[in-house]
Amino acid sequence: MPGRSQDKPAKPAAPFVLVIHGGAGVVTTELTPEREAAVRATLEQALRAGHAVLEKGGASLDAVIAAIKILEDSPLFNAGKGAVLTAEGTVEMDASVMDGATRKAGAVAGVKHVKNPIELARMVMEKTPHVLLAGEGAEVVAKQHGLPLMPPDYFITEPRRQQLKRVQEQEKSGKKKAQHETNAERTGTVGAVALDQHGNLAAGTSTGGMVNKKFGRVGDSPIIGAGNYADNRTCAVSGTGHGEFFIRSVVAYDIAALMEYKGLSLAAAADEVVMKKLKALGGSGGVIAVDGKGNIAMPFNSEGMYRGVIRADGRPTIAIRKE
Amino acid sequence: MPGRSQDKPAKPAAPFVLVIHGGAGVVTTELTPEREAAVRATLEQALRAGHAVLEKGGASLDAVIAAIKILEDSPLFNAGKGAVLTAEGTVEMDASVMDGATRKAGAVAGVKHVKNPIELARMVMEKTPHVLLAGEGAEVVAKQHGLPLMPPDYFITEPRRQQLKRVQEQEKSGKKKAQHETNAERTGTVGAVALDQHGNLAAGTSTGGMVNKKFGRVGDSPIIGAGNYADNRTCAVSGTGHGEFFIRSVVAYDIAALMEYKGLSLAAAADEVVMKKLKALGGSGGVIAVDGKGNIAMPFNSEGMYRGVIRADGRPTIAIRKE
């Protein structure tokens, strides 16, 4: 590996960093110590999976996908296995990736059988001339390229069945839900952003969407510019929150635009969009973001956001509540 | 009406303007005089329909929808009746609207039976808590609210059947298509933007997407920020072109961002995005745009773009080629 030979002076390693989120819909009052420990362990596992890629000089896109696959495979998050259920009791998952070096992007909406929707999003980017594929058509691409498919039962967990039942009973009784419950229903998306040793940024987002969703509702996660954006010249962003507001506010791209056009730092731009503009419109949620120098930002205007960071030193930092 | 009484001095009418497009995929060498006359007549009819709304003090959103409905109902454009056909020989239409006063938005993707997808996009905005609905779910909302549905035959025209056959034969024979044919296949979207007498902006976009499309491909037309955006503080934009590039470039919102963050005029911002940034990435197409003072821009980097403008004087201007 370059710079690692004992004959040459050690070249300082280029900085790299991976940031992940497991959703902004955390209801901290309902978070048992057992659940919190399980969530923290899985977030750490995801960080380590991405770190292993980056440490070897791998691409930020590979690190983002490695991390997100761990979160999709865990029943604890609203993506892949354990995704929330639609009004019909099925799963309909959305995901997207963007490569900051080429500004190529891929996304899928409403997939029902693909084990790792984030892999399919990448396949759309790399193997088709398209950016966004929806429904059964997206699954055809998964089959053509041999991506693992799963029966519906793989994705559906008992806690999600109970959650759907609870929400539908509340809806039927016309009882107004507490705000934190409403937020929790809308959120729980997972995502990752990374800067690799080559200076390339990437972003990925994956979700089951909203619990009890109807009418083929698509949120911000598969929408480039809203729930996902990456451009080496500015930043990589993944969002989680009330998707309709993220779409209307073009949240992810707006952070990049504030950096490029107004010269704001990543932290100032992310803060402006999430804590001021999005909030003013009435939208709850948060983002994770990284710029080309390895600066990171993780603002959220909701109660909590599952999130974690790992840098070259390999020491993961995980947080849930406001700090 | 205020200011119209003979007892008071006439109050100068607030400026208003409607701009429409019928797609950037014009192949001017294939445009017969008969077809050109028919296109011009329909664009004029659409402009007059929107003007009638604006003249009475109606809302920009109503004017945009009135104009787009004329284009959807005409077999000459790639939206509603006369939409291009998918690989299966069906129609799958996308549409979106955005209200610049509230920044509320509505969009639908992959609808097959709704006579006027632009009306359904508005219904999603006004009658549901969602922004984007896809496929059969979107049609459920159309049925719930009594929007006219049509059998597949209503949408499918003989020229579109022949076009699909031609494209599929070319694909089968592996023959490389001329660039202008490829562009024509990808484009033909319709759209409208307006400023009303109350100073409110609105944008609408409607399309049948790409001819011979597969895999549930969704283009930029239903993506807020990409093919559609409106905000009273900056501008209203509707795009037409190679949708994948419009999504990756977040074209419509980027024009607004350049105005808001860099202080560019509408014309300079639209030019920067369409003629420089989009072109540099390899994307062909154009936009129509209007700002809060009634300034307009209609840049396109393709061979031609069907377009038209009408202001308070009620005299329509229509153009197809570069000027």
Q: Distance from B185 to chain A by nearest Cα, in Å?
A: 14
Backbone angles phi, psi at B62, to 5 degrees: -65, -40
- Strand B132-134 with B104-111, pairing: parallel
Distance between start and end Cα atoms, chain B: 39
Choose the closest CB to A215 out of B110, B137, B247.
B137
**For residues B25 and B76, is the Cβ–Cβ distance under 8 A?**
no
Would you place residue A186 in the very low, low, confident or very high pLDDT band (cuts 50, 70, 90)?
low
Would you place residue B27 in the very low, low, confident or very high pLDDT band (cuts 50, 70, 90)?
confident
Average pLDDT value for residue range A54-70:
98
Joined together, the tokens standing for residue A176 give 């107004």
User: What ipTM score was computed for the predicted complex, to two decimals?
Assistant: 0.94
Q: Which helix (H) or strand (E) holds B155?
A: helix B152-155
Cβ contacts from A onto B, under 8 A = 132
Q: Distance from B3 to chain A by nearest Cα, in Å?
A: 35
The answer to whether the Cβ–Cβ distance between B262 and A258 falls below 8 Å is no
The answer to whether the Cβ–Cβ distance between A262 and B262 falls below 8 Å is yes
Would you place residue A2 in the very low, low, confident or very high pLDDT band (cuts 50, 70, 90)?
very low
- Judge whether B182 counts as a catalytic residue: no
Mutation choice for B interface testing from A96, A98, A141, A215 by most B CBs within 10 A: A215
Residue whose pair of structure tokens reads 């003090």 in the numeric block: B57
Order of strands across the sheet that contains B93-99: A217-218, B132-134, B104-111, B93-99, B201-207, B190-195, B17-21, B307-311, B317-319
Predicted local distance difference test score (pLDDT) of residue A126: 98
Mean pLDDT of chain B: 93
- The percentage of chain A sitting over the pLDDT mark of 90, rounded to a whole number, equals 86
The answer to whether the Cβ–Cβ distance between B133 and A217 falls below 8 Å is yes
For residue B103, the chain A residue with the least C-alpha distance is A248
Predicted local distance difference test score (pLDDT) of residue A9: 53
CATH 3.60.20.30 fits B14-314, yes or no: yes
Q: Which residue has the higher pLDDT, A4 or A134?
A: A134
Collapsing DSSP to helix, strand or coil, A128 comes out as: coil
Question: Pick the catalytic residue: B189, B205, B207, B240?
Answer: B189
Cα separations in angstroms, B222 against A23, B240, B252: 25, 12, 12
Indicate whether B1 pLDDT > 60: no
Joined together, the tokens standing for residue B190 give 């319709």
Q: Distance from B131 to chain A by nearest Cα, in Å?
A: 6
Positions of A marked catalytic: 189
- For A73-186, strand residue ranges (E) read 93-99, 104-111, 132-134
Joined together, the tokens standing for residue B15 give 């400026």
Spatial neighbors of B165 by CB under 8 A, at least 6 apart, are none
Q: Which residues of B touch A248 (CB under 8 A)?
A: 98, 103-105, 131, 224
Residue B292 and residue B238: Cα distance in Å, rounded? 15
Predicted local distance difference test score (pLDDT) of residue B30: 77
**For residues B267 and B140, is the Cβ–Cβ distance under 8 A?**
no
The answer to whether the Cβ–Cβ distance between B135 and A131 falls below 8 Å is no
Choose the closest CB to B215 out of A140, A249, A281.
A140
Predicted local distance difference test score (pLDDT) of residue A11: 59
> Nearest-5° angle of CA A211, CA A216, CA A222?
80
Q: Which residue has the higher pLDDT, B30 or B168?
A: B168
The answer to whether the Cβ–Cβ distance between B215 and A128 falls below 8 Å is yes
Mutation choice for A interface testing from B120, B127, B140, B223 by most A CBs within 10 A: B223
The answer to whether the Cβ–Cβ distance between B258 and A261 falls below 8 Å is yes
β-partners of residue A309 are A19, A317
pLDDT tens digits, residue range A197-249?
Answer: 999 999 999 999 999 999 999 999 999 999 999 999 999 999 999 999 999 99
pLDDT tens digits, residue range B118-165?
Answer: 999 999 999 999 999 999 999 999 999 999 999 999 999 999 999 999
**For residues B194 and B17, is the Cβ–Cβ distance under 8 A?**
yes
Indicate whether A30 pLDDT > 80: no
pLDDT tens digits, residue range A245-301?
Answer: 999 999 999 999 999 999 999 999 999 999 999 999 999 999 999 999 999 999 999
The answer to whether the Cβ–Cβ distance between B141 and A215 falls below 8 Å is yes
- The percentage of chain B sitting over the pLDDT mark of 70, rounded to a whole number, equals 92
The answer to whether the Cβ–Cβ distance between A105 and B247 falls below 8 Å is yes
**For residues A266 and A289, is the Cβ–Cβ distance under 8 A?**
yes
**For residues B223 and B247, is the Cβ–Cβ distance under 8 A?**
yes
Predicted local distance difference test score (pLDDT) of residue A263: 98
Of A186, A160, A171, the C-alpha closest to A82 is A160
Q: Distance from B118 to chain A by nearest Cα, in Å?
A: 17
Cα separations in angstroms, B216 against A97, A110, A124, A221, B183: 18, 10, 12, 17, 20
pLDDT tens digits, residue range B85-99?
Answer: 999 999 999 999 999
Collapsing DSSP to helix, strand or coil, A6 comes out as: coil
Indicate whether A3 pLDDT > 50: no
Predicted local distance difference test score (pLDDT) of residue B14: 83
Q: Which residues of A touch B103 (CB under 8 A)?
A: 248-249, 281
Would you place residue B83 in the very low, low, confident or very high pLDDT band (cuts 50, 70, 90)?
very high
pLDDT tens digits, residue range A93-131?
Answer: 999 999 999 999 999 999 999 999 999 999 999 999 999
Residue A104 and residue B187: Cα distance in Å, rounded? 20
Of A200, A173, A242, the C-alpha closest to A16 is A200
> Nearest-5° angle of CA A261, CA A262, CA A264?
120
The answer to whether the Cβ–Cβ distance between B281 and A103 falls below 8 Å is yes
Choose the closest CB to B225 out of A129, A216, A250.
A250
Joined together, the tokens standing for residue A201 give 């940024």
Joined together, the tokens standing for residue A209 give 């969407």
Specify burial of residue B87 (Cβ count, 10 A radius: 0-12, 13-18, 19+). middle
Residue B260 and residue A43: Cα distance in Å, rounded? 38
> Nearest-5° angle of CA B102, CA B268, CA B20?
55
Indicate whether B303 pLDDT > 70: yes
Of A209, A220, A309, A106, the C-alpha closest to B225 is A220
Of A229, A171, A242, A184, the C-alpha closest to A202 is A229
Predicted local distance difference test score (pLDDT) of residue A5: 45
Indicate whether B28 pLDDT > 80: no
Average pLDDT value for residue range B255-283:
98
Instruction: Tell me the Ramachandran region of residue A3: left when phi exceeds 0, alpha when psi lies from -120 to 50, beta otherwise.
Output: left
Q: Distance from A119 to chain B by nearest Cα, in Å?
A: 16
For residue B264, the chain A residue with the least C-alpha distance is A261
The answer to whether the Cβ–Cβ distance between B133 and A109 falls below 8 Å is no
The answer to whether the Cβ–Cβ distance between B250 and A248 falls below 8 Å is no
Q: Distance from A293 to chain B by nearest Cα, in Å?
A: 23
pLDDT tens digits, residue range B199-251?
Answer: 999 999 999 999 999 999 999 999 999 999 999 999 999 999 999 999 999 99
Distance between start and end Cα atoms, chain A: 39
Of A221, A259, A189, A224, the C-alpha closest to A104 is A224
Residues of A with a Cβ under 8 Å from any B Cβ are: 98, 103-105, 109-110, 128-138, 140-141, 214-219, 223-226, 229, 243-244, 247-250, 253-254, 257-258, 261-262, 281
Collapsing DSSP to helix, strand or coil, A159 comes out as: helix
